[in-house]
A and B are shown apart, each in its own frame.
Chain A
């Protein structure tokens, strides 16, 4: 079976364009959600942590793409029986997930545009730094999307699935040092932060833009862990996700 651009477009249309077109008010929420933390952190730190908060907002947007994907795919699967309908077509799981995941990103575009504009004003990253930041966000996106898809295929109850998606979002993007430097967390609690892949993403991005000064070994470890988590989750989704029910 061949994944085609049209199959990916179907997911994009269903998971973002149609909803945004038919209910434009949704776009206000997509801007407000990631920006709310940024605003709070900026006010509380009297502007000191605005750079960290902008980068945190971008990381959170990428991570939440995956947790939202889990909730949305579970909703489509359990309430609309969409996954069953699509399984009985030539569409591959890769094309289905790719379309839906890109849909999540498109959904977040209003917030991403604001965050990128703020990054241009307050952080001024160079081209190389921006590309590295992009790589971090891409890995974060890949990890969260593959995790979201795998979990959604196991779900049979939408209420439980949404609760789980919110829990993951809180554990991995709100609590860890995404919106603030990891140096703010005292030892031994800092070790707990390293259980979240978003911590490594934040370390790399905050170091790139000079907000924290970490040694090369720590940054190299962060890249390795982030890439390993992303690829491990990709492998798990390829082997364990239940496209066909058991």
Chain B
């Protein structure tokens, strides 16, 4: 039932000229509109299509969606007052400066020039670009230009922010800085974030949605997603280390010779005990989002092949 939160019912999208291929296939969502909701999936999984529909940029072919009771098709006026979006592949104009980009964006949101000018500088300071505020964008690095785009939405009072792959092209330090910024931002705003970096979703998101071929094949917190796969523990052994017999689990040997064992809690305990007794070096952790993602996507692909 549509109410507070993010709600999608049988949401589908077929682009014209796609010969009926569903870019989004019967997606259902019912989430609170707080914190960070991260969408992950392979290229062409439907992440950007879903974001564009929710951000009122694209018409769905069927189904409905709403945020906090505001329908994305019928209440666009009210919804657009509350949202802000940095699309995938968005770029800054090379002939403009970061300050001019953020200032123009705020003017488009209806802010007055003087207020917008002040807010633009504050937002650029938040992303560490106050010294480059008046440098032409063409002279900035790709990562810095990406930060300018993030500053545009940070500068606004929008309560719901869509960021489609915001950290693509950022160096690891800048990415971490942006994560901190987004975590702070999510304290009083709702962030919908798509990413190819699974560790990003793992670190930031309160709720994760996994899309595959337009369909939602996983939804929930990391813990909830973990409970949907067979094994919740992962053991890693360096190359050339002998592994005791595994009664229940999956063993994978990587290209570098490193061995990974996915297994349940009891078996993980038994294997670790045996490895410790032999003095074998290893590490143990809960199953990562990377493992969960691989299992769910692999499982969905297998199911498609069977059907």
Q: List residues of chain A with CB under 8 Å of any chain B CB.
A: 1-2, 4, 6-7, 9-11, 13-14, 18-19, 22-23, 76, 79-82, 84-91, 95-96, 244-246
Contacts and interface: CB of A to CB of B under 8 A. Distances in A.
Interface of B: 16, 52, 55-59, 76-77, 80-81, 83-93, 95-97, 100, 103-105, 107-113, 116, 136, 152, 156, 162
B162 to A, nearest CB: 7
Contacts of B88: 81
Given A14-B104, A88-B80, A81 B89 contact: yes
A89 B107 contact: no
A8 to B, nearest CB: 9
A215 to B, nearest CB: 49
Nearest to B54: A88
B189 to A, nearest CB: 14
A7 to B, nearest CB: 5
Given A6-B107, A23-B95, A87 B152 contact: no
A90 B90 contact: no
Contact of B85 (A10, A22, A85): A85
Contacts of A1: 77, 80-81
Contacts of A87: 55-57, 80
Contacts of B112: 6
A244 B104 contact: no
Given A80-B93, A89-B80, A10 B104 contact: yes
A81 B105 CA distance: 13
Contact of A6 (B83, B91, B111): B111
19 contacts: A1-B77, A9-B107, A13-B100, A18-B104, A22-B97, A80-B90, A81-B88, A84-B90, A85-B105, A87-B55, A87-B80, A88-B57, A88-B84, A89-B108, A91-B109, A95-B108, A244-B57, A245-B57, A245-B58
A7 B83 contact: no
Contacts of A82: 90
A80 B96 contact: no
Nearest to A78: B89
Given A80-B93, A89-B109, 8 more contacts: A11-B108, A14-B93, A14-B96, A76-B93, A81-B89, A87-B80, A88-B56, A244-B56
Given A80-B90, A80-B93, A81-B90, A4 B110 contact: yes
Contacts of B84: 88-89
B91 A81 contact: yes
The list of the 10 closest CB pairs from A to B, nearest first, reads A10-B107, A88-B85, A81-B90, A81-B87, A84-B87, A91-B108, A88-B55, A10-B108, A10-B104, A6-B107
Given A13-B100, A89-B84, A90-B81, A80 B91 contact: yes
Contacts of B91: 79-81
Contacts of A23: 95
B85 A84 contact: yes
A11 B105 CA distance: 10
A90 B109 contact: yes
A6 B105 contact: no
A245 to B, nearest CB: 5
B108 A246 contact: no
B6 to A, nearest CB: 15
B222 to A, nearest CB: 28
Nearest to A19: B95
Contacts of B76: 244
A10 B89 CA distance: 22
A2 B77 CA distance: 9
A211 B80 CA distance: 52
A245 B52 contact: yes
Contact of B57 (A4, A10, A84): A84
Contacts of A13: 100, 103-104, 107
Contacts of A91: 108-110
B95 A22 contact: yes
B59 A245 contact: yes
A244 B59 contact: yes
A80 B104 CA distance: 14
B107 A84 contact: no
A244 B113 contact: no
A241 to B, nearest CB: 14
A246 B59 contact: yes
A88 B107 contact: no
A157 to B, nearest CB: 14
Contacts of A80: 90-93
